[in-house]
A and B are shown apart, each in its own frame.
Chain A
Amino acid sequence: MSRSPDSSTPAVETRGLRRSYPGPRGAPEVVALAGVDLRIERGEVFGLLGPNGAGKTTCIKILNTLLFPSGGEARVAGFDVVREANEVRRRIGLVSGGENSGYGILTVRECLWMFSQFYGVPSSVAWPRIDRLLEVTGLTPLARTRINRLSTGQRQKMNFARGFVSEPEVLFLDEPTLGMDVNAARMLREFVLSWVRERDGRTVLLTTHYMAEADQMCDRIAIVDRGRVLASDTPAALRRSVQGGQHVELEVREGGAAESGSIQAAVGVPVVWGAPHPERGTRTLKFRLPEGGVLGDALRALEEIGVAVQGISTRETSLEDAFIHIVGRALDDEGAE
């Protein structure tokens, strides 16, 4: 039905992609994308990783022909998203996590069938495919339940299945596992990976806030912040970009007199605060000890400025470390500069 993928063109290509939104009443406009260059090859699982407001969803909306860019160029499967929107639409699928979409009056199965019809999938192909997707998402027992009777997570799963009924060439998953329980999220991650592997030249562009998800699923990752791509590489290469050394996590007592500034000076490298543990009255302090650095020296320096260390752990470089190194802050400490 649809033309076979032309493997010579990348699945997604953007050049200098920009988008701004008018600011609220007189305020300056919000720049969501400030010149993004991406090149995603056929057959890749590609991740966009970035803090809230980085511009990930905006980028996906533009690639899905929902939103015009303010500048630059974007192509999906070789077609321009502005001038050749209809060609793009034949080849894409979209799943947005964390929303409550669906025709409440239809059953799960009917809703999926209907969308398959919107994509011109013959019913004889659509029904077995739908049954398989219901199985994968664990919705088989709910197949004949009306959508307005589903829980949020169940709707989410149906929405996920909807993205696959047309077997799109390029699939956009915007935080697909948001709001799902741990087991469901893991099953669906595995399903996406096998879906891509079993088919030739299918591409997935994924955004997520879960580092492990990005690490496990993506062939390549672009780290975005404030509308710019800061780095783009394989997870392994991103990890490697944080040269050697040791990652240290200290559990320190809260309420010490020392500030981040003096702590940083004492340790001699940038530090990041992690989650507090109110039940123990402590908080996690993370930093990367450079190669050749001696942990004992750092601990002594901290003791001198009155930081009480209650626990120590060290580990290998993770994707999160790379993220912190590149973005300058952790994914979860929102707005921290």
Chain B
Amino acid sequence: MTMKTLSLLVVDDDPVIRLLLCQRLTKDNHMVSAVDKGQDALGLLRGDAQFDALITDLVLPDMDGIAVLEVAKSLRPTIEALVITGHASVDSAVEAMKKGAVDYLTKPINFDELSLRLDHIAIRQGLAKDARDILLAKEVTEQEAASTIQALEMRVSELQDALTAAAAILRDGGRDQEDKISQALAILNRT
């Protein structure tokens, strides 16, 4: 199995947390884009960059973290989302999970815990990719096999018909032997 490097979008208005997140996640071999506003995150999500996961604070200066999550999910249905919440607001974390977040972290952030959660996401995405690759490979192999088998099936049927016709001529009494043989050979040579 392939352990993927994840492409992550981090949204947090606290510059210290943003910096710490970037350092740790980069050290864990992920690629990180970090922004401080919800609108900036949405801008990136609407662009060309591919993100595997979104990590967002639920409280942002310009908009609600849950709204960021909802838009992210609608723009990129396969994106995984982790939300960060204040210690006292587990309710909003539950709300976020209902809206499609896979998990939440409470502040202060435990970075080892975050690493573990991201490992799980990477493993899951790796498995999903492997499954898609296998399906694709199976389809290609099946198509190839199907056209070979179909060609053989038609060919066998033609040969069978020719053999039956040749046998009928040879069996047919009352005609000149040489004539029968040359007629049967003519049929066999044609196929």
A, B in one complex: no
